[in-house]
Structure 1
Amino acid sequence: MPGPLAGGAEVTDQPGAAVRPTPEWREQWTLFQDSERFLFEEWIAPVNLEDLRGRTVLEAGCGGGQHTAMMAEVAKSVTAVADLASMDLGEQFDAVVCVGVIHHTDDPDRTFENLYRHLRPGGLIVIWTYSAEGNALVRHGVEPVRKLLLRRLTRPALVWVSRAITAAMYPVVHTVYRLAFLRSLPYYEYFGNFRRLSYARNVLNVFDKLNAPQTVFTTAAKCREWMSEERFEPGSISIRPYKGVSYSLSGVKQGE
């Protein structure tokens, strides 16, 4: 069975599935480990890990391999690939899972079409992606600063900035963002998760946003376009907002 190697590289049985992680991602996977099972399970809901039992799974965007290991507990096999848009594995899978990656690809539409192409009829797709809705502050505030200034920083400097930003957020998140009458504040739901996670995992979240070569925020309209009834069985389609800053998508591919 294909499996993860340290540092983000993945073993695969499939020809044409060469892993070519960029330096940004390779260093991120080496510096940070993501082992929060509950977070992964919430991202893929209403699908759960048991839904993958006995299936052949393509993990599209394998990261450091932590999610691969979780799915490998139940799946028949897991093929983990880092290069999504250009992969051509020559086979289709019972399930395709893409968590937190499609929004960082150069062309999310092309990536989605390639994921769909690798899913067999009757197979299950699961995608988690940053949303355009609810992310105005990041899109119009953080992103311009990142592109203008932060991309020039060395990786150690960016890690330091991520740690400093995370530490500065704690007093506000644990005081102001606990007040129920301020639920209309941006990222109120999201910061509920912030309080559940370790400092190290919160640093990873900040670093991920600052380190990414590009981020394309997915609109609700784009989610509906991807998860159309022409592609997926109507009763299976789920487009679920998560914490006001992302979407969880899932559906069963129409038979042919």
Structure 2
Amino acid sequence: MQKKQSEWKWQWTKVYDDSKWLFTEWIYPNKLKDFKGKTVLDCGCGCGQHLNFVAPYCKQVTGIDLNTPRIAKKNTRQHKNVKVVEGDIAKIRLKKKFDIVYSIGVLHHTDNPSKSFNNIKKMVKKKGKLIVWVYSYEGNFLNRTAVEFLKKHILLRLNKNFLWVISNITAALMYIPIYTIYLLPLRFLPFYQYFQNWRKLGFKRNNQNVFDKLNAPQTFFIKKSTVKKWFNPKEFAKVHISHYKGVSWRGSGVLK
């Protein structure tokens, strides 16, 4: 069983993501209206932000999180159709199955992303839908090498308040190239598509993203071939897999 990681509690106590439009892009081609009247499962609900996005649409939504279920409960208490349970998405067993199961930005932080995927797949009803969004191996060379090296050997050992300061400074400095050279039509530059989103978001949200990269205890970068295996045609119909902003994979399918 995956161990609890205090890094996530610190992070989700500090920040809250209200970028609903970004969530809708991560679940594409699925739409929030597709959740109407459905039973839904959020695998790795964090501070509950995604639960708040889908709750107004669905019949009932359950969130699972190993590290911050209390925070998620507090942040979603205004919705009567939201339930939050503590558990490891790689091993948890629930008594019922759901119309829609999603895991957004979580599988790549688990001990074994494929094992976690295979477990949440078991909680999808027949003819139900499974939706995931994960960091991609493709397009993330700098994150896979430089950032992960620094994180492993230095950053994760730092006091969280100090790491937060480093994150703020890093995010501020990143605005210089993003609003100069990255405004030019130089599509060969790393993260060129990704930084288009950066310019749509405010500093608070961009800093949150930087901190997430520096603070996550572990991160796996998923190859397209792995996502294709997850949504194999023997088990899934209406499969959609697309590269989002050159740094992540969106995957969804209907369980046969």
| 1:68 has 2:51 as partner | yes
**Residue 141 (structure 1) aligns with:** 146
2:252 equivalent among 233, 250, 253: 250
Residue 253 of structure 1, CA deviation = 0.2
Distance 1:21 1:33, change over 3 A: farther
Specify every segment of 5 or more residues in structure 2 that has no aligned partner in the other structure, as ranges: 66-87
2:40 is aligned with 1:36: no
Aligned to 1:59: 42
Q: Could you tell me how far apart the structure 1 residues matched to 2:29 and 2:61 are?
A: 20
* Counterpart in the other structure of 1:91: 96
Correspondence for 2:80: none
- Offset of residue 21 of structure 1: 5.3
Give the Å deviation of 1:220: 0.5
Number of the residue aligned with 1:48: 31
CA distance in structure 2 between the aligned counterparts of 1:229 and 1:168, rounded to whole angstroms = 45
Structure 1 CA distance for aligned equivalents of residues 148 and 53 of structure 2: 32
Moved over 4 A (4+): none
In structure 2, what is the equivalent of residue 196 of structure 1?
200
- Unpaired runs of 5+ in structure 1? 1-19
Cα-to-partner distance string for 1:58-112 (whole Å, 9 max, x where unaligned): 0001011111011001011000001311211122111101000000000111100
Displacement after TM superposition at 1:22 (Å) = 2.5
Q: Pick one of 226, 241, 244 that aligns with 2:243.
A: 241
TM-score normalised by L of structure 2: 0.89
Q: Paired residue for 1:7?
A: none
Provide, for residues 158-196 of structure 1, a one-character-per-residue CA deviation record: whole Å limited to 9, x for no partner.
11111010000001100100001x111000000010111
Q: Aligned runs of 1:151-190 on 2, under 5 Å?
A: 151-180=156-185, 182-190=186-194
Count of residue pairs the alignment pairs up: 232
Distance in 1 (alpha carbons) for counterparts of 2:21 and 2:99: 23
Shift in Å at residue 231 of structure 1?
1.2
AA aligned to 1:167 is A
Instruction: Letter of the 1:217 partner, please give it.
Output: F
Question: Secondary structure of 2:236's partner?
Answer: coil
Give aligned-pair identity as a percent: 44
Q: CA deviation at 1:146?
A: 0.7
Alignment partner of 2:133: what SS?
Answer: strand
2:155 pairs, out of 118, 143, 150, with 150
| Structure-2 separation of matches of 1:166 and 1:39 | 19
- Whole-angstrom distance in 2 between the partners of 1:249 and 1:154: 36
TM-score, scaled to structure 1? 0.89
Match of 1:106 among 107, 111, 127: 111
Task: Tell me what 2:223 maps to.
Answer: 219
> Aligned partners of 1:118 and 1:211: how far apart in 2?
30
**Which secondary structure state, in structure 2, belongs to the residue aligned with residue 95 of structure 1?**
strand
Q: Secondary structure at the match of 1:120?
A: strand
Q: Give the distance between the partners of 2:118 and 2:227, measured in 1 at CA.
A: 13
Find the aligned partners of 1:70 and 1:194 in 2 and give their Cα distance.
Answer: 21
Determine the C-alpha separation between the residues in 2 that align with 1:86 and 1:160.
Answer: 36
- Deviation, 1:138, is 0.5
Paired letter, 1:63 = G
